[in-house]
Structure formats: structure tokens, C-alpha cells
Amino acid sequence: MDEDAAPSLRKSPSVASLRSVGSAGAPVPASAWLSWDILPSEWDILCLSTALKFLLFPAYRSTDFEVHRNWLAITHTLPISKWYYDTTSEWTLDYPPFFAYFEKLLSIPAFLIDPQIVDLNNLNYDAWSVIAYQRTTVILTELVLGAVLLKFIRGSIEPSIQRIVSASIFLHPGFLIVDHIHFQYNGFMYGILLWSILMARNGNKLASGILFAILLNFKHIYMYLAPAYFVYLLRAFCFSPTGHIHIKNFLSLANSVIAVFVVSLGPFALMGQIPQLLSRLFPFTRGLNHAYWAPNFWALVTAADRVLLKYAQMTGAEFAINESGVASSSRGLVGDTVFAVLPNVKPAHTFVITVVFQLVWLVKLWRNPTYKSFLTALTLSGWTSFLFGWHVHEKAVLLVLIPLRQVGSASRLLAAERQAYFRTFLLASVAGVFSLFPLIFNPTESIIKVVYSTIWIAAVYIPLSRRVYEYPKSVIYVIMDALEKVYLAGFPLLLLFVTAFRLFQQQPSVSGASTARGMCVATDPLNLSCTEVQHETNATAVSAMEFLPLMATSIYCAVGLVWSFLRLGFIYLHEETYQGQLTEIK
């Protein structure tokens, strides 16, 4: 039994049965995974969500759609020795080998459906056959996530609450926006992550470690979670509570993880291609920020640099201005991000800051290696990397939102346990989901993303808020509660501003300048050098501020995500466990 289970819960038959399944060292019986007993309401959710996803087949597709089509062609057409060398398309293979093997498997039925899908030279192929096929593969592989979430429900002592939580994950707006419109396979991979977390909850830590090692070899972004896994498995599985090492457990875990990496990387190691593979996975020549700034700490720093530069230009303030920063046009799309006023940030700086913050959570996890502590540390580790990492993509916010949604004790989610956790979840979810909105900009899909996300937030907020609401007990908490409510109320206003601004930009007076400014604004929404292009095209004052919607979205969402991060970190560090009972200092 996990250390954080309360004594009263230890006597619960449902919890006892939960703990007996997959206890340390004992595999979960296959029959347990084959017995689903899916309820009518669960079938309804699956069918309705699948119908919506089918209706989205003709929706907007980003370049990621062609990326994955090209990977189908690479893995189907070329021998494995050329997978990580091919440059036929600019969208080269840059995911770990397991994902390449995954694409290889998907390429087999793709060839049978339409051979042109896997034609390496058939760039930007967009026939209905490839659209329907690739969209369908996302829906089918996402069933891994659905299956794991059902198992979370079946093992919970509060199935009604867990059912809401599991449904909210399966129906998460992030998956709809990023996977089913924009196009990726996050649902499938987060299914593996939650499967690993489920094994940890059930006490099968060896299986948890193996599944996470498999996940790392699907997508290397999950390495941000690796420190929390390493500390938890080492402390809770390889060491006894008294500090004595379990040699058998240590060797079992080490050999299993090594075996996973051998299967993944072995063929490329034999061919001497590990350096080439690593150069594809870790392109540090990219800058600090992505083209559309992820809503993290560096978005706030970059915006501050732009504001200080503008202030210096308008007032003549004596700042030491880096001229290359004034004319910088990359802003992280290609090359380095160069600041004009603030000191420049290098990869080493982001690495040190990330490690320092993660060490804070990991020390607490080492001292208190419970399942609940593990999930919170896991979430904070991913959050730390998102906020302070190098060249973070906005889509990486899912690395925060999905584990945060599943954070909890052995059978009850923290978001449903007390107001402090629930408010943290709400702030992060609203800011994180809204930060994904700029990925979808066509009018029809924009309406879908807003309506769907609003319904999702309401469906989650109403039942859980009634359960956990607590009236603030001090002046500080009253002020904090009020400010957080004001912040949340600002999102409809931000949406109104972004929508109105874009509608106004489409008027004839400003539309003529959009083409000439396109590349400038796309590569750097805050780059002041764009003003030269804007003057040359006689753009109006509004067109000169075309960056404002992106900037406002990134900065406003960054404020919420940074505050939520500090909020959860404070709560985590102020938790203490006494005799299995959790006393939380508010």
C-alpha cells in the first residue's frame, strides 16, 4: 500500500482490492485489462466525441500534417539506415526511433489505401485519401488514452468524481485543437504516460518505469519528466523505507530500461548513426523562443525587452542598447533570439535555471516518495521545463495540463480534493487552453475551439467547484481570490479584443499591406524592424500593430501559468505527512 493512504482508507474494501492489483513485483492479470464493463454514458462520450472528430476531417491542417505524411513516406520508402539522413522535404524526421517505427507501421495500410501517400517525392499531397487516413489514425490511436482512463475509473473509490476527471481528459480541448485540427498524436502518447502513472498508482513500479522508457523513445519532450521518474522509482522501488537498497529491484529496473533503449537505439548504434540521430532530436541552433512565443517566463522577459527598447527610443533613456537586438528578426524561428536591452539568454542559462527549480521538487520527492508526492513533483518538473526551457513550443503546454489534471492521491484527484488545488488547476487550464487558440485562425474552426473550450470548462468547473469551494479565511486569501477571479474574467475581454482586432485588420484600408508584412510578422510578432516593411507598404497605424493579438495572448496566458506554477509549488513544499495522514498547511 502506498504510504500516503489514510488509515481509514486502508480498511476500505475497494481500496484494498485496488492495491492488490499490480502490487509491487506482481503483474496485473490480463483478464483485468480485458474486462471493461463500459457504461452507456461512457459509450455516449466515445461515440459523440468520435462523431465530432469525423466532422473535423475537412478542417484546417497545419504543416504538421505534411510532416507526418512525409514521415510515412520516409519510413516506407527508405531503408532504416537513411531515415535520419533524408532531406527530400524540409520536414525531416526528428522524433526518436519508436515513433519512426510507429510511422513505419502506419505506412503499411497507407500504401494499400493509396500508394501516393507514401511517395517520398509527392510533397504536400492533400488528396482526400491521405486526409481521411491520417485523421483516422489519430482517432484510433487515441483509444489508448481512453482505455487507460477507464481503468482509472474502475480503480477509484469515488467513481463519479473520477468519471468527470477522466472524461475531461479524454475530451480535453488541447487534444481537439492540437491533434484533431492542427494535427499531432498527443492523445496516443499521453495515453502511454497515464498508463505509466496508473501502474505507479497500482504499485507496479517496474511496469511504470518500463512504460515511461517506451514513451521517452516515442517523443523526447517527455525527458522533462524523467528526473521525477528517476527519483521516485529509485527511492520507492529500489530502496527500502529504512534506506537499504533492494538489489533485485534495482537490477530489474535498470535492465528493463536498458533493454527498451537497446531495442530503440540499437540498430542506429550498430550503424554508427547516434550522433546524426541526436543532431536531429536536439537542434540547439534554434533560438530561445518559438515563432509564436510559448506562454512561459521567457515570453514575459522578451516582452519586457521590447517594452524597454520602445521606452528608450521614445524618451531617450540611457540604456545600453544592443543594435543587433533592435534589428533581430528571428525571435527564435531560426537562429538566436537577441535582446536589445536585457542580457541575452543562452541554452546553458535555461538549463541551469531548470535544474535548480527541479531540484527543489526532487528533494521533497526523495524525502516523501509517495504516489501523491510523485504526481505533484512530476507535474512541477514538466511545468518547470515549460516555463524555463530553451525554444519551447506553445503546444508543450499539454505537458503541464494533462499531468496536472491527473494529479492526486492514490484514488482521489487533488483538483477534487481541496480548493487550493482546484483553483490552481482552473487557472492553469484556462490560460493553457487559451494559449493554444492562435494555432487555429480560420473563422469556422475558431468558433469551434471557443465554443468547445467554453463548454468543457463549464462541464468541469460546475461539479468540482461545488465540491471543494472554501470561503477565504484571511485578508490575504480574500485579495488573492479576488485578483484570480479578475484575471479569469479577463479572458472573455482578451478574446473580444483579439477577434475585433483581426476583423478590423481585414478591412480594405489595411488588407493591402498584409502580404508584404506576412513573413515579417510571422517570424517575429514583436520585431520592431517590421516597421520598415510597414512604411514601405503605406500600412495604417492598425496594421503596424499586427503583432498585438499574439503578444497579448502570449503574455496574458504566461501570467496565469507562471502564477499557477508558483501556487502549486508553494502548496507542494508546505505539505507534511504524519503517520499516513496528510496535514496541509494553507
Q: Are residues 254 and 338 in the same domain?
A: no
pLDDT digits (tens, 9 = 90+) for 173-229: 999 999 999 999 999 999 999 999 999 999 999 999 999 999 999 999 999 999 999
DSSP 108: H
Q: Is the pLDDT reported for residue 41 higher than 60?
A: yes
The predicted pLDDT at position 526 comes to: 40
Q: Are residues 397 and 263 in the same domain?
A: no
* Residue-by-residue DSSP string for 242-296: TS-B-HHHHHHHHHHHHHHHHHHHHHHHHTT-HHHHHHHH--TTS-SB-SS--SS
% of the chain at pLDDT higher than 90: 56
The predicted pLDDT at position 566 comes to: 95
Alpha-carbon dihedral 74, 78, 80, 82, rounded to 10 degrees: -90
Q: Are residues 567 and 419 in the same domain?
A: yes
Residue 64, C-alpha cell as written in the block: 504538421
More confident residue, 283 or 389: 389
DSSP 575: E
The predicted pLDDT at position 416 comes to: 43
> Comparing C-alpha atoms, which of 197, 194, 584 is closest to residue 419?
584
> Binning pLDDT at 50, 70 and 90, where does residue 10 land?
very low
Q: Are 92 and 276 in contact (CB under 8 A)?
A: no
The total of structural domains in the chain comes to 2
Q: Are 130 and 117 in contact (CB under 8 A)?
A: yes
Boundary of a domain, candidates 255, 282, 309:
282
Q: Is the pLDDT reported for residue 352 higher than 60?
A: yes
pLDDT digits (tens, 9 = 90+) for 132-150: 999 999 999 999 999 999 9
Q: Please give the model's pTM, rounded to 2 decimal places.
A: 0.84
Residue 509 in any domain: the answer is: no
Residue 342 in any domain: the answer is: yes
Cα 586 to Cα 577: distance, rounded to the nearest angstrom = 14
Full domain range(s) for residue 236: 203-282
- Which residues, 6+ apart, have CB-to-CB distance to 538 below 8 Å? 513
More confident residue, 307 or 283: 307
Q: Are residues 558 and 428 in the same domain?
A: yes
* Amino acid in the structure at residue 41: S
The predicted pLDDT at position 412 comes to: 45
The predicted pLDDT at position 35 comes to: 54
Cα 330 to Cα 502: distance, rounded to the nearest angstrom = 24
Q: Are residues 320 and 236 in the same domain?
A: no
More confident residue, 168 or 25: 168
Q: Are 429 and 325 in contact (CB under 8 A)?
A: no
Q: Are residues 312 and 226 in the same domain?
A: no
* Amino acid in the structure at residue 49: S
> Binning pLDDT at 50, 70 and 90, where does residue 577 land?
very low
Residue 301 in any domain: the answer is: yes
Q: Assign residue 5 a region: left if phi > 0, alpha if psi is -120 to 50, beta otherwise?
A: beta
H-helix or E-strand containing 53?
helix 40-55
> Binning pLDDT at 50, 70 and 90, where does residue 406 land?
low
The predicted pLDDT at position 476 comes to: 86
> Comparing C-alpha atoms, which of 124, 120, 138, 23 is closest to residue 76?
120
Q: Assign residue 470 a region: left if phi > 0, alpha if psi is -120 to 50, beta otherwise?
A: beta
Residue 271, C-alpha cell as written in the block: 550503424
Query: Exposed, middle or buried by CB within 10 Å (0-12, 13-18, 19+), for 250?
Result: middle
Mean pLDDT across the stretch 558-584?
A: 74
Q: Are 87 and 274 in contact (CB under 8 A)?
A: no
The predicted pLDDT at position 36 comes to: 61
Alpha-carbon dihedral 544, 547, 552, 553, rounded to 10 degrees: 150
- Which residues, 6+ apart, have CB-to-CB distance to 576 below 8 Å? 582, 583, 585
Mean pLDDT across the stretch 82-100?
A: 95
- Which residues, 6+ apart, have CB-to-CB distance to 359 below 8 Å? none
Residue 496 in any domain: the answer is: yes
Q: What are phi and psi of 554, to 5 degrees?
A: -60, -45
Q: Are residues 414 and 495 in the same domain?
A: yes
CB atoms within 10 A of CB 74: 25
The predicted pLDDT at position 324 comes to: 67
> Comparing C-alpha atoms, which of 41, 49, 217 is closest to residue 145?
49
The predicted pLDDT at position 455 comes to: 95
Query: Exposed, middle or buried by CB within 10 Å (0-12, 13-18, 19+), for 166?
Result: buried
Residue 93 in any domain: the answer is: no
Boundary of a domain, candidates 259, 282, 305:
282
- Which residues, 6+ apart, have CB-to-CB distance to 453 below 8 Å? 173, 433, 434
* Residue-by-residue DSSP string for 302-313: HHHHHHHHHHHH
The alpha-carbon radius of gyration of the chain (Å, integer) is 25
Cα 122 to Cα 89: distance, rounded to the nearest angstrom = 10
Q: Are 551 and 526 in contact (CB under 8 A)?
A: yes
The predicted pLDDT at position 264 comes to: 97
> Binning pLDDT at 50, 70 and 90, where does residue 336 land?
low
Q: Are 453 and 446 in contact (CB under 8 A)?
A: no
The predicted pLDDT at position 57 comes to: 96
CB atoms within 10 A of CB 429: 27
More confident residue, 335 or 280: 280
3-state secondary structure of 583: strand
> Binning pLDDT at 50, 70 and 90, where does residue 364 land?
very high
- Which residues, 6+ apart, have CB-to-CB distance to 504 below 8 Å? 510, 542
- Which residues, 6+ apart, have CB-to-CB distance to 364 below 8 Å? 373, 377, 572, 573
Q: Are 115 and 131 in contact (CB under 8 A)?
A: no
More confident residue, 454 or 323: 454
H-helix or E-strand containing 584?
strand 581-584
Residue 165 in any domain: the answer is: no
The predicted pLDDT at position 138 comes to: 98
Q: Are residues 267 and 315 in the same domain?
A: no
Taking the mean position of all CA atoms in its chain, how far away is CA 585? 29
The predicted pLDDT at position 540 comes to: 44
Q: Are residues 317 and 239 in the same domain?
A: no
pLDDT digits (tens, 9 = 90+) for 515-549: 334 334 333 444 433 433 333 444 444 444 667 88
| Residue 408: strand pairing partners | 413
More confident residue, 581 or 365: 365
| Residue-averaged pLDDT of the chain | 82
Boundary of a domain, candidates 234, 253, 282:
282
Q: Are residues 486 and 429 in the same domain?
A: yes
Q: Are residues 257 and 308 in the same domain?
A: no
Q: Is the pLDDT reported for residue 255 higher than 80?
A: yes
The predicted pLDDT at position 506 comes to: 66
Residue 86 in any domain: the answer is: no
* Amino acid in the structure at residue 401: L
Q: Are residues 389 and 486 in the same domain?
A: yes
